[in-house]
Amino acid sequence: MKDIATLARQFLHTKPEDLTERERRVLERFVERRRISRNVSKMLDTEMSFGDRLADKVAAFGGSWTFIIIFFVVLVLWIGGNTLLAAGKIGAIDPYPFIFLNLILSMVAAIQAPVIMMSQNRQATKDRAAAGYDYEVNLKAELEILQLHEKLDEMRQNQLTALLEQQAAQLAILEKLVQTKTDGAPEVG
């Protein structure tokens, strides 16, 4: 098997010292015949803190139909209940224009927005890591394919060389047969 410096020059057309850390890692695993693929999502999930997991769950719930439906039902009940209480002269908790409801909605939005942003930032980090690992896997696959092409070309060259040697031997035998035939044949004339 070739060393990293040879592979870098041959396949990546670069000097070994110009390799990135990621390319060097791929070439090392290529030389050692070790696999390079891994589950990035699972790997990054194990490094998440409690706050990270909570933010992801809040973001997942806040972006679901369940949340939208529950939120819509609560709004309808709040507005409808306060309107009925105000119409019945009982005294509504939050009469029209529903200032307390607006305060609650603003607080929910103020808390939910940064939590969703944290979750999106973490997802972007996961996506970048996944893209990096995809690059490594693709590079290793490309190296494997290039190596297979070399082996196939070498096999084809060996076969052609053997065929040419065989053909040369057959031509020599044929020339001997022709020579024997012309030497031993009676002259016609």
State pTM to two decimals.
0.61
Instruction: Work out the number of other CB atoms within 10 angstroms of the CB of residue 140.
Output: 19
Angle of CA points 57, 63, 64, to nearest 5°: 90
pLDDT computed for residue 161 by the predictor: 96
- What percent of the chain shows pLDDT beyond 70? 96
Asked whether the predicted pLDDT for residue 189 surpasses 70, the reply is no
State the maximum Cα–Cα separation within the chain, in Å, rounded to a whole number. 142
pLDDT computed for residue 37 by the predictor: 76
Torsion of CA 45, 49, 50, 55, to 10 degrees: -70
- Average pLDDT over every residue of 36-49: 79
* Contact between 21 and 132 (Cβ < 8 Å): no
pLDDT computed for residue 182 by the predictor: 81
Asked whether the predicted pLDDT for residue 1 surpasses 60, the reply is no
* DSSP letters spanning 127-186: HHHHHHHHHHHHHHHHHHHHHHHHHHHHHHHHHHHHHHHHHHHHHHHHHHHHHHHHHHSP
